[in-house]
């Protein structure tokens, strides 16, 4: 197992705007404050415009690198899947089980702000793994994937599972060159997640609802979650599973077969 040292820590609003650039001075607040909960307060439009220009530049550069990654991986038969979720949705547990259950040759890239903990878990399965620590950064970008790929030196015809940093916001914006974007939510999070974080659900090819073994103990309505996900992404595929018990895992494994040709 190898770890890739962070090469640059991006600060919020420096490399890409996260909407943190705007202050919270008194001028920004409106009479909405008088009726909290009734009206959403949105950011200052002028400051947002500057943020958008900066973000577009960063994203255009990222998209070029993502295309480069895509071409490189296609040449080597590497199929990459970008797994995105909040912290604690069970990405690493799903990866552990996937590595142990799939027939494909698998390699893993682990994204976390700090530690090698998740990479250690994956390494214990025997899969090749590289940990990327993003420091202050809250998502993986195409440049990080490029560096991780060169560290990984995966064999040709490998299924590459990329665990993004736990965050449902900016990973949606950063194409890595992957073939499939998967958003994982767990039943402990609430079935309204797709409405609160519509961008990442709109970008997803597949939504995985994890921890179905906990359904009896939580107020999570699968039908409502599906309806909410489809309201932002009408064609998205949705499947439910428990990475802990293995329930529903077959459907997940066949989703991987859809994008990864089975090698004879
Ligand atoms: Mg993890
Ligand atoms: Zn970010």
122-126: long-range contacts, CB 8 A cutoff, minimum separation 24? 122/1, 122/92, 122/95, 122/96, 123/1, 124/96, 125/96, 125/99, 125/100, 126/99
Q: In the chain, where are the structural domains located?
A: 50-259
pLDDT, tens digit, 9 for 90 and up, residues 225-263: 999 999 999 999 999 999 999 999 999 999 999 999 776
User: What pLDDT score was predicted for residue 6?
Assistant: 57
How many angstroms is it from 94 CA to the middle of ligand 1?
A: 9
List the end-to-end C-alpha distance of the chain, in Å, as a whole number: 27
How many angstroms is it from 90 CA to the middle of ligand 1?
A: 7
pLDDT, tens digit, 9 for 90 and up, residues 53-105: 888 999 999 999 999 999 999 999 999 999 999 999 999 999 999 999 999 99
* H/E stretch holding 21: none
C-alpha 99: how far from its chain's center? Answer: 18
How many angstroms is it from 28 CA to the middle of ligand 1?
A: 37
DSSP β-ladder status, 237-240 and 159-163 = unpaired
CATH topology for 50-259 is Rossmann fold (3.40.50)
Strands in the chain per DSSP E: 2-4, 79-85, 106-112, 128-133, 159-163, 180-186, 206-210, 237-240
Instruction: Assess contact for 78 and 177: CB atoms under 8 A.
Output: no
Q: Whole-structure pTM over 0.95, yes or no?
A: no
Q: How far apart are the C-alpha atoms of 84 and 108, rounded to whole Å?
A: 14
How many angstroms is it from 12 CA to the middle of ligand 1?
A: 22
User: What pLDDT score was predicted for residue 54?
Assistant: 82
Q: Hey, which residues does 239 pair with through a beta bridge?
A: 208
How many angstroms is it from 133 CA to the middle of ligand 1?
A: 12
pLDDT, tens digit, 9 for 90 and up, residues 109-134: 999 999 999 999 999 999 999 999 99
């Amino acid at each position: 197992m190898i770890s890739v040292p962070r090469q640059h820590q991006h600060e919020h609003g420096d490399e890409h705007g996260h909407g943190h650039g705007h202050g919270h001075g008194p001028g920004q607040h409106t009479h909405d404050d008088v009726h909290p909960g009734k009206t959403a307060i949105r950011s200052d439009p002028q400051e947002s415009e500057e943020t958008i220009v900066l973000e577009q530049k960063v994203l255009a550069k990222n998209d070029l690198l993502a295309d480069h990654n895509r071409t490189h991986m296609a040449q080597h038969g590497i199929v990459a899947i970008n797994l995105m979720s909040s912290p604690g949705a069970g990405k690493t547990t799903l990866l552990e089980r996937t590595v142990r259950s799939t027939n494909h040759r698998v390699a893993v890239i682990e994204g976390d702000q700090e530690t090698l903990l998740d990479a250690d878990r994956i390494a214990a399965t025997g899969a090749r793994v590289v940990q990327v620590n993003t420091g202050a950064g809250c998502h993986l970008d195409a440049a990080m994937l490029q560096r991780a790929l060169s560290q990984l030196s995966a064999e040709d015809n490998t299924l590459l599972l990329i665990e993004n940093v736990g965050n449902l916001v900016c990973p949606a914006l950063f194409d890595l060159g992957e073939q499939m974007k998967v958003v994982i939510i767990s039943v402990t999070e609430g079935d309204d997640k797709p409405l609160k974080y519509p961008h990442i659900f709109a970008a997803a090819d597949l939504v995985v609802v994890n921890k179905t073994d906990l359904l009896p103990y939580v107020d999570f309505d699968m039908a409502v979650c599906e309806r909410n996900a489809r309201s932002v992404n009408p064609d998205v595929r949705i499947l439910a599973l428990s990475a802990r018990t293995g329930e529903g895992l077959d459907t997940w494994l066949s989703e991987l077969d859809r994008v990864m040709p089975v090698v004879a």
